[in-house]
Amino acid sequence: MRLTVIGTGYLGAVHAACMAAIGHDVLGVDVDAEKIRTLSEGRPPFYEPGLDDVLTTALASGRLRFTTSLREAAAHGEVHFICVGTPQRPGSQAADLRYVDAVVDGLVPHLPASCLVVGKSTVPVGTTARLTARIAGLAPAGVRAEVAWNPEFLREGFAVEDTLRPDRLVAGVTSQEADETLRRVYAVMLEEGVPYISTDPNTAELVKVAANSFLATKISFINAMAEVCDAAGADVVTLADALGHDTRIGRRFLNAGLGFGGGCLPKDIRAFTARAQELGVGPAVEFLDQVDEINQRQRARTVALARQMVGGDLAGRRVTVLGATFKPNSDDVRDSPALAVATALHQQGADVRVHDPEGTANARRARPELDCGADLLTACQDAELVLHLTEWGEYGEVDPAELARVVRRPVLIDGRNALPHDSWRAAGWTVKALGRPSGPDRPSEVRTTREPLRAKIASPATEPARAVALAAASPAGGS
């Protein structure tokens, strides 16, 4: 099928490459000429594992091209996917839909024939209906452009896998024809048994914000428990493990720590509350304000803990922050909790160095005042405090004894509760984490009597392996 993918950022570039990979003839469109040039050369403009391979193969197949021209897109596509950003509107909680509207305004007057316009961006409920009316006023005579919504659930870091093998496809459609068109687009996935939920556009739009609201709530729930654990002298990791054994609850997204960030979860829950207020049901999702507040509070709590760990005043203290991206396996620093904490430490006078395996360039651009870019050991040289704030797998593999030799004081705040604390303590480190008692004989690390038996049966993961596994199942990884 002839598809266009308009907006080739984290979502659109992956969608375009993957649609070509499953056999469609795809034209990717973006207003950013530099991004289009890079993509045309087979170089992803951002870090996403596996994307370079899919992109190169798709370009070589001749089924993927890129352009900055919406006129060219109009001529090419029988289905047009809208994948542009929907950030938080300045000075408001609501979503800024100006980029979505600009696509419609730039595309529709040039349409030569009837087609399907499919939104993938995350939008407030009611957007399909609004765009349907807008398009009706813009379409050339005799041309019908139906709108459908097909929200995207990919996670940065797993975007290629999530696009090629999604856990579900949701199609918000107003006609049988639109439904059949979307089923043809995703025929390869449907043949593999991917669940396909066909519904009305309002429900489809809501699925996405409801999913992100649920994930955000789960993370903030465990972080609220961490605050209680701190006050009560209890251990939030053991608490989460015990809760997680209940299959009704599950262990995923129950990792207490610095909380969520990125270009989606924070702005999506805010936009949802704004939209609910417009619909007259603000109180129904008022709890999301608390979810947001709890999340923001973890950043402040981490800064306060850092201040405490250096004796009450951060001015002039050398501090190293491990991680700048909002989650591992991405270079995305949008609303990154790690970068927010690094910035706050800098503002309180600390001499901050930031290390990140892939996010340095974006961190520098976003926060030029921070010292980013040194390799891990150099970044930690003479540090009086190290904060582990993004759970990259490579931090789980650091040799704490080697690191202890380069720092001035071996003091660690594990803002993700993902490092093997026993090993770090054994190497001489003082380790602190939100929601966890800090003595060496914390209950969570006292072996239970069942563990040796489990070891015989299934050789459970060692602590370092667990840290890497936790990194892979990033709690801050909402799409």
State yes or no: is 372 an active-site residue: no
Q: What is the CA 95 to chain-centroid distance, rounded?
A: 17
Please identify which of the residues 115, 229, 264, 380 carries the catalytic annotation. Answer: 264
With contacts defined by CB under 6 A, how many residues of the chain interact with ligand NAD? 27
CB of 162 to ligand NAD, least distance (A): 9
DSSP annotation of 285 reads: G
Q: Which of 3, 4, 8, 186 binds ligand NAD (CB under 6 A)?
A: 8
Q: Which of 154, 225, 314, 350 binds ligand NAD (CB under 6 A)?
A: 154
Pairing of strands 169-172, 371-372: unpaired
Side-chain-facing half-sphere of 244: CA atoms under 13 Å = 15
Q: Does 99 bind ligand NAD (CB under 6 A)?
A: yes
Q: Which of 102, 143, 190, 376 binds ligand NAD (CB under 6 A)?
A: 102
DSSP-assigned letters across all residues of 42-110: T--SS--TTHHHHHHHHHHHT-EEEES-HHHHHHH-SEEEE-----BPTTSSSB--HHHHHHHHHHGGG
- CA–CA separation, 122 vs 96, rounded Å? 11
Query: Between residues 120 and 442, which has the closer beta carbon with respect to ligand NAD?
Result: 120
CB of 165 to ligand NAD, least distance (A): 15
- CA–CA separation, 462 vs 362, rounded Å? 34
Q: Does 336 bind ligand NAD (CB under 6 A)?
A: no
Q: Which of 3, 12, 76, 319 binds ligand NAD (CB under 6 A)?
A: 12
Near ligand NAD by CB under 6 A, which window of 2-10, 242-250, 390-398, 403-411?
2-10
Q: Does 329 bind ligand NAD (CB under 6 A)?
A: no
Query: Between residues 67 and 199, which has the closer beta carbon with respect to ligand NAD?
Result: 67
CB atoms within 10 A of CB 454: 11
CB of 166 to ligand NAD, least distance (A): 11
- Residue 429: closest CA among 408, 402, 400: 400
Q: Does 359 bind ligand NAD (CB under 6 A)?
A: no
Query: Between residues 222 and 333, which has the closer beta carbon with respect to ligand NAD?
Result: 333
Q: Does 6 bind ligand NAD (CB under 6 A)?
A: yes
Q: Does 196 bind ligand NAD (CB under 6 A)?
A: no
Q: Does 272 bind ligand NAD (CB under 6 A)?
A: no
Binding mask 38-77 for ligand NAD (x = CB under 6 A): ----------------------------------------
Contact 345, 352 (CB under 8 A): yes
Contact 354, 316 (CB under 8 A): no
- Residue 376: closest CA among 408, 345, 354: 354
- CA–CA separation, 256 vs 415, rounded Å? 9
Q: Which of 28, 44, 77, 85 binds ligand NAD (CB under 6 A)?
A: 85
Element (H, E) at 28: strand 25-29
**Chain positions contacting ligand NAD, by CB under 6 A:** 6-12, 29-32, 35, 83-86, 99, 102-103, 121-122, 152, 154, 156, 263-264, 479
